[in-house]
Amino acid sequence: MARSTRPSPRSVALNVALYVSLVGIMLVALPTLPFRRAAIRSVVRFWGRYFVWLCRVVGGIRLEVRGTAQVHSGPLLVAAKHQSIWETFALIGLFDDPCFILKRELTFIPLFGWYALKARMLPVDRRGGGSVMNRLNAQAREEVRNDKGRQILFFPEGTRRPAGAPPAYRQGVSHVYENLGVPCLPIALNSGLYWPRRSMALNEGTIVVQFLEPIPPGLPRDEFFARLQSSIETASDALYREGMAALGEPLPAAGNG
């Protein structure tokens, strides 16, 4: 099945269902705001799993998870490839107590921002310089030590990149890794082939999420950074090729991404 340039009826239906459902769930969950974070945590995890179900039933986009033996509960830094809006929702349902590092601007959105703050997600002002990174590290350390320890979800490239594009990793993940002192779980995926960024034209098929071998704490920053990028990119490139074949698309010529 070749990639579409126009939204199919299922693509339109899924986009509409996504936003209608998200608003509906946020409205229904309003009574949980005065309660402890545990109530919001349940809503957030439900939404992640419901989103995956919605993609499959309405949009024909299925999920295959590989390497689940690599995942454990408790404190963890999770570094994921970022190609689509898809993983910002779908990854939530795959962890016990996820904590996203997200753009501060998202917390300004009515309802969504309230829940993000109540769930103790970590907003970042990317224009704030070193002081912002210091504050983020302190907040992240507090979250991995709270309760039974949370899983800090981080997109090392900072923003969505097209499937098959050259990597653009930033050093922020190395700072967080160095300061947390917990294992890092790399994640490869190929979501951008099925839910491209900035497009309503979705493709039916199976998104693959692959949990890779965890990186132990305590490595020198440069060694960690190189190992993380190599691990994610090698696996993501393989998933890209697998997905392109499943879609019946030829691979681009070398050097054209």
pLDDT tens figures, 180-233: 999 999 999 999 999 998 888 899 999 999 999 999 999 999 999 999 999 999
The yes-or-no verdict on residue 4 having pLDDT over 70 is: no
Amino acid at 46: F
Domains by residue range for the chain, with CATH: 9-247 (3.40.1130)
Quick: pLDDT tens for 45-81. Answer: 899 999 999 999 999 999 999 999 998 878 999 999 9
Q: Residue 122's closest CA among 137, 108, 112?
A: 137
Q: How far apart are CA 129 and CA 125, in angstroms?
A: 8
Give the rounded distance of the alpha carbon of 7 from its chain centre.
Answer: 24
Q: What is the DSSP letter of 147?
A: T
Lowest mean pLDDT among 37-41, 91-95, 143-147: 143-147
Q: List C-alpha distances in Å: 39 to 35, 36, 71.
A: 7, 6, 24
The token pair at 85 is: 């809006």
For residue 129, what pLDDT is reported?
Answer: 63
Tell me the C-alpha distance between 29 and 255, whole Å: 48
Sign of the CA dihedral with 139 first, then 140, 145, and 146 last = positive
Asked if residue 22 lies in contact with residue 115, where contact means CB atoms within 8 angstroms, the answer is no
- Report the predicted TM-score, pTM, of the whole model to 2 decimal places: 0.90
pLDDT band with cut points at 50, 70 and 90 for residue 145? confident
Return the structure tokens found at 134: 């210091």
What is the pLDDT at residue 6?
79
Average pLDDT, the chain: 91
Confidence at residue 130, expressed as pLDDT on a 0 to 100 scale: 65
